[in-house]
Structure 1
Amino acid sequence: MEYIFKLAEFIQTLHPLIVFIVIFLFGMYVFWRGCTESRKNRSSVFDMFLVSGFLSGVVGRTIYVMLEWKQFTSFIWYWIPYEKYGDDVYLFRLLPWRFFSIWDGGLVILAMFVALLLILTFYSLVVKRWRWKHMFFPIYFSSTSMIGASFVYVGITSGYNAWVYKGLILIMVLAIFFLLFKFIYKIIKDTLTEKYVLGYIGLGIVWISSIYISYLYLTSELSMIESILVGIFLIWSLVMGIVFVSDLRRARVRIQSVSTVRSVTAQ
């Protein structure tokens, strides 16, 4: 227990930007590991996640500025991004530069989470045209692992409140899915059966954890924008889950031999 408290104290001393980078790398690793199961190109996977992560950060910062607009209007506008008073130099304290100072921790986690889901979905289906049955779990579980780690960090920095445990539960969801994947892979030898069993169990975990995440937010005080984001997340989870099942069950034609093709042609 003493080691855990020391680790928590160390995390509190870290700059928020460093923590965000670590959480991002954690999510990127989960995403990459998920994509390796369908043998996606490594460069494409990393490019997709980097672009999506950057854009989701922009969305998270933009929503934060909108929600805290009164705070930002109290600052004056100045065309130089720094101030110098004697030997002290202060960066990005005035507008418009303060809009970009994400290292102050001013990001809306929910907005980043939903934006990351939507952007990765668009990138996978529209830009790359990859099968959704290959991308659904990597997208969801990488995003969930990041929001879970963010909850843990928020809980630690705000005094070890319940958010630490809420975040750990979400991270455990990822661990449970990974263990189930290994277990199913060992006991089920038929590839088709394995695909369906893993797919339906994974979908159940996705929907249950989606309800849990939504419950965490809906039982808190939310702005109208945040309430809309929760609704978008629930719709995404339901609709894309159905799309996943549809893609999972899609019949695929397999050519077993040349003679089979010839017999079909003759008919």
Structure 2
Amino acid sequence: MIGLCVSLAAVAGYETAAGYAIPVDATFRRILDTLKAGREVEYGYLGVRRSGEPTGPEAATGQGVRIEDVVPGSPAHQAGLRPGDRITAVNGQPIDDFDSLVLEVGKLPVETRVRLDVLRDGRSMSIEVVLSKYPVRGRKVVTERPPAWRGVSVDYLTGVVDGTGRPMFSALPFDLGVAVTDVQEGSPAWQAGLRPGMIIRQVGPTPVRTPREFLEAVGRHTGPVEIRLADQPDQPLRILPSGS
């Protein structure tokens, strides 16, 4: 198999049908393998907002894409990107407009370390960024979910959306912690007071910013664990082991 052919489901009389060919490359295979395993497909997230410049092939200037704003706490912010910077390449792949930037970043897995070529005040530089998770709108069909710890499941702050499809925590720094996405009723986490929508900032003395960091931190404990929330850092929740 070298590609996948698809067609636009056009509305008769209103739209023109079009066909597309998607090549089977490393990104395609990663997504396909993830779907076959029943897991959620995740896409890389940088955390920059576009300028008012036009986008698309006609907008290509060879000068990259200009950053209008950097999302607080995002991977871009943590790496030191600034408004006014121009991103000219991602891992050596030239960037001509915002669409190509989203494509190159989005096809990479979460927590990938990428090299950005940047123009700042006429000077060229390279900046390394560790990507977070892009927020995907709509219903997710997943049969193999990450394991819950004592009844609680968490996700990246950048990857959680509300009922309208908007990022739930877009007004907060994304390095604040991890989002609680589900709590099994009656579980130790539920009994301790954890609920979906809360933000876990710390496990014991350890700050956590990703689900992996959270699971590593709680995995070091076999007894009761103190969890600190972003909005109540001085009032830790004490989560007991199952069956206690």
TM-score by length of 2: 0.27
Name whichever structure is richer in helix by fraction.
Answer: 1
Q: Which has the higher contact order (CA 8 A, sep 6+)?
A: 1
Name whichever structure is richer in strand by fraction.
Answer: 2
Larger Rg over CA atoms:
1
TM-score by length of 1: 0.26
